[in-house]
Amino acid sequence: PGKTKMSLTSSRLVWRCLRSFSTGVKGWDSPNLPKGYVAEPSPVKGETKKMNLVEAIRSGLDIALQTDPTAVVFGEDVAFGGVFRCSVGLQAKYGKSRVFNTPLCEQGILGFGIGLAVHGNTAVAEIQFADYIHPAFDQVVNEAAKYRYRSASLYHCGRLTVRAPYGAVGHGGLYHSQSVESFYAHIPGITVVIPRGPSQAKGLLLSAIRDDNPTFFFEPKALYRAAIEDVPVGDYTLPLSQAEILHEGSNVTVIGYGAQIQPLRQACIVAKEQLGVSCELIDLRTIVPWDEDTIIKSVCKTGRVVIAHEDTFTGGFAGELIATIQAECFLNLEAPIQRVCSWDTPFPLVYEPFCVPSKYRCFEAIKKVVSF
């Protein structure tokens, strides 16, 4: 009462005017900045179809089941299609013995999957949310990761792949937003892969499924429906343990993975427009074993590094990247390495926009590293 209510359009106009007089960046409203997920061209030749991340993953699972008669897909709610629809239609197509629900028990899902893989089947387990994978940690660290080592390869569970949605989704709060890759990166013996989009996801998933090491595949749930691009309909794989340079640059090496690639893309564009900075954006893709050569080569060229991930600062994977980079490229570095991460708190609900490494914080990190 007593306050004049402005329309949303006019209040936005006022805000823009105010901002343009402030020291804030004008570039965030630039028409050059993409709105949402940046679709990429297909990574391999062949017929493609517009798919979102869910459809791309489903296509990968379909091909795995089709090409490998020992392949089995299982997890909570997988039979009806999965809570994120990643397995829709698969039970009808491949039968109840190959696509089925498990009881609600993550330690059981992992243990069962390990046993199935030891038998020689291709076991593709789904954990409903990465936030719920923790009861299975013992099976991962003490069993899956050590199965081959403790038997000198007489037995192994390399045919096990575990998929789980990870990361912020806008409304997930503490238990539907977690990033867990750093827990698993720490364990020798397993592979951890995080795709940035649909066409990457399908190819990396098929590689993970066919790789002879137990692999964890964390899917950025925020992109499940939001990311749409031309995905090859056929069977293809993308290499594990190989980072990818998304665009070459000469001033700053910018490293990220998964959903974080999108805010990093935007930060790089604004950095180019506003600061004239040329960024080399690299998607790590495989968290462990990670592609040290690509990263080190880039840093030796640029001398400046920004790393961003949704996981928290303390103990987040950026620490490992930074430790390696400073050891290998110390004399090439022109500035301290910047990392942009979630604050060291449990993942909050209403504070999410302030907590995550936003494109604005990523841009500020680039600015900091070039003005050292």
Partner 1 sequence: MASVLVRAVRSCTRLCAAKNWTAHGRSLSSNPGDRGWSGIQYTTDMLAGSSPHKQQVFRPMYQVLDHTGKVLDAAQVPDLSNTQLVKMLELIITVGVMDQQLYKAQRMGLISFYMMSSGEEAVVASAAALAHDDMVFAQYREPIVLYWRGYTIDQVLDQSFGNWLDLAKGRQMPVHFGSKDLHFQFISSPLSTQMPQAPGYAYGIKLSGKKNCVICYFGDGAAQEGDAHAAMNFASTRGCPVIFFCRNNGYAISTPTHDQYAGDGIVSRGPGYGMESIRVDGNDVFAIYNATKHAREVAVNEHRPVLIESMSYRLGSHSTSDDQTGYQDMNIVEQWKREYHPVIRLRNYLVEKGLWDAEREKGLLAAVSDKLKKGLNRARDEPKPHLDYLFEDVHSKLTPRLERQKREMMEHIKEYKDYYPLNQHES
Number of residues that bind partner 1 (CB under 8 A): 49
188 DSSP assignment: T
- Regarding 103 and contact with partner 1 (CB under 8 A), the answer is yes
- Regarding 135 and contact with partner 1 (CB under 8 A), the answer is yes
Contacts of 18 (CB under 8 A, 6+ apart): none
* Nearest alpha-carbon partner for 281 in 263, 337, 317: 263
Inter-residue contact 269 to 33 (CB < 8 Å): yes
- Regarding 110 and contact with partner 1 (CB under 8 A), the answer is yes
Q: Give 22: exposed, middle or buried? Use CB within 10 Å, 0-12, 13-18, 19+.
A: exposed
* 176 labelled catalytic: yes
Judged by CB under 8 A, the chain residues 221 through 260 that form the site for partner 1 are: 241
Q: Of 107-115, 199-207, 250-258, 330-338, which segment contacts partner 1 by CB under 8 A?
A: 107-115
* Nearest alpha-carbon partner for 231 in 105, 50, 108: 50
SS3 316: coil
Q: Of 38-46, 57-65, 101-109, 346-354, which segment contacts partner 1 by CB under 8 A?
A: 101-109
Q: Give 41: exposed, middle or buried? Use CB within 10 Å, 0-12, 13-18, 19+.
A: exposed
Judged by CB under 8 A, the chain residues 145 through 184 that form the site for partner 1 are: 146, 148-156, 158
- Regarding 334 and contact with partner 1 (CB under 8 A), the answer is no
- Regarding 123 and contact with partner 1 (CB under 8 A), the answer is yes
Instruction: Give the end-to-end CA distance of the chain in Å, rounded to a whole number.
Output: 50
- Regarding 330 and contact with partner 1 (CB under 8 A), the answer is no
- Regarding 119 and contact with partner 1 (CB under 8 A), the answer is yes
Token pair belonging to 131? 């936030």
- Regarding 70 and contact with partner 1 (CB under 8 A), the answer is yes
Instruction: Select the residue interacting with partner 1 from 54, 63, 64, 72 (CB under 8 A).
Output: 72
Side-chain-facing half-sphere of 137: CA atoms under 13 Å? 13
CB closer to partner 1 out of 71 and 252: 71
- Given 106, 126, 219, 280, which residue is catalytic? 106
Q: Of 82-90, 143-151, 351-359, 363-371, which segment contacts partner 1 by CB under 8 A?
A: 143-151
Instruction: Annotate each residue in 264-303 with x if it binds partner 1 (CB under 8 A) or - if it does not, as one string.
Output: -------------------------x--xx----------
- Regarding 102 and contact with partner 1 (CB under 8 A), the answer is yes
* 292 labelled catalytic: no
Bridge-based pairing of strands 160-166 and 123-126 is parallel
Contacts of 201 (CB under 8 A, 6+ apart): 53, 56, 57, 60, 195, 219
Distance, in Å, from the CA atom of 19 to the CA atom of 205, rounded to the nearest integer, reads 44
Q: What is the DSSP string of 317-365?
A: THHHHHHHHHHHHGGG-SSPPEEEEE-SS---STTHHHHS--HHHHHHH
- Regarding 326 and contact with partner 1 (CB under 8 A), the answer is no
Instruction: Select the residue interacting with partner 1 from 52, 59, 91, 139 (CB under 8 A).
Output: 139
- Regarding 100 and contact with partner 1 (CB under 8 A), the answer is yes
- Given 176, 181, 229, 309, which residue is catalytic? 176
Please give the residue ranges that form the binding site for partner 1 (CB under 8 A). Answer: 70, 72, 97-98, 100, 102-103, 105, 107-108, 110-121, 123, 135, 138-139, 142-143, 146, 148-156, 158, 188-189, 191, 211-213, 241, 289, 292-293
Q: What positions carry a catalytic annotation? A: 106, 176
